[in-house]
Amino acid sequence: MDYVKPEEMLENVAAAGAKKAAASVRDILIKGTLSGAFLGISTVLAYTVAVQTGLDFIGAFVFPVGFVMILLLNLELVTGNFAMVSLAGLRDKATLKKVLYNFFWAFTGNLIGSLLFAVMFVIYITKFGHVMEADVIQKIIQVAEGKTFAYKEYGADGIIVAFVKAILCNWMVTLGAIMAFTSHSTIGKITAMWLPVFLFFTLGLEHAVVNMFVIPSSMMLNSGISFTDWWLWNQLIVTSGNLLGGFLLTGLSLHLVIKDKPAITETPVKRKTAS
- Lowest-confidence range among 115-124, 247-256, 259-268? 259-268
**Is there a domain that residue 173 lies in?**
yes
**Is there a domain that residue 267 lies in?**
no
- CA quadruple 50, 52, 53, 58: dihedral, nearest 10: -30
Q: Note down the domain range covering 220.
A: 6-125+133-258
For residue 270, the model assigns a pLDDT of 54
How far lies 113's CA from each of 13, 29, 73, 103, in Å? 25, 9, 16, 15
**Is there a domain that residue 218 lies in?**
yes
Phi and psi torsions of 72, nearest 5°: -70, -30
Between CA 267 and CA 2, with CA 7 as vertex, the angle to 5 degrees is: 80
Confidence bin at 275 (pLDDT 50/70/90): very low
In total, how many domains does the chain have? 1
Is residue 239 predicted with pLDDT exceeding 80? yes
| Residue percentage of the chain with pLDDT more than 70 | 94
Higher per-residue pLDDT: 28 or 272: 28
| Residue percentage of the chain with pLDDT more than 90 | 92
- Are 32 and 109 within 8 A, CB to CB? yes
Is residue 134 predicted with pLDDT exceeding 80? yes
**CATH of residue 220:** 1.20.1080.10
**Is there a domain that residue 273 lies in?**
no
Confidence bin at 261 (pLDDT 50/70/90): low
- Are 14 and 252 within 8 A, CB to CB? no
Is residue 263 predicted with pLDDT exceeding 50? no
What is the torsional sign of CA 168, 162, 205, 83? negative
**Is there a domain that residue 100 lies in?**
yes
- Are 36 and 111 within 8 A, CB to CB? yes
**Is there a domain that residue 75 lies in?**
yes
For residue 2, the model assigns a pLDDT of 87
Number of Cβ within a 10 Å radius of residue 253: 13
**Average pLDDT of the chain to the nearest whole number:** 94
**Is there a domain that residue 268 lies in?**
no
pLDDT in tens, 173-212: 999 999 999 999 999 999 999 999 999 999 999 999 999 9
- Are 52 and 123 within 8 A, CB to CB? no
What is the torsional sign of CA 102, 104, 105, 109? positive
Q: Cβ-count burial of 271 within 10 angstroms (0-12 exposed, 13-18 middle, 19+ buried)?
A: exposed
d(CA 203, CA 218): 21
**Is there a domain that residue 1 lies in?**
no
Number of Cβ within a 10 Å radius of residue 15: 16
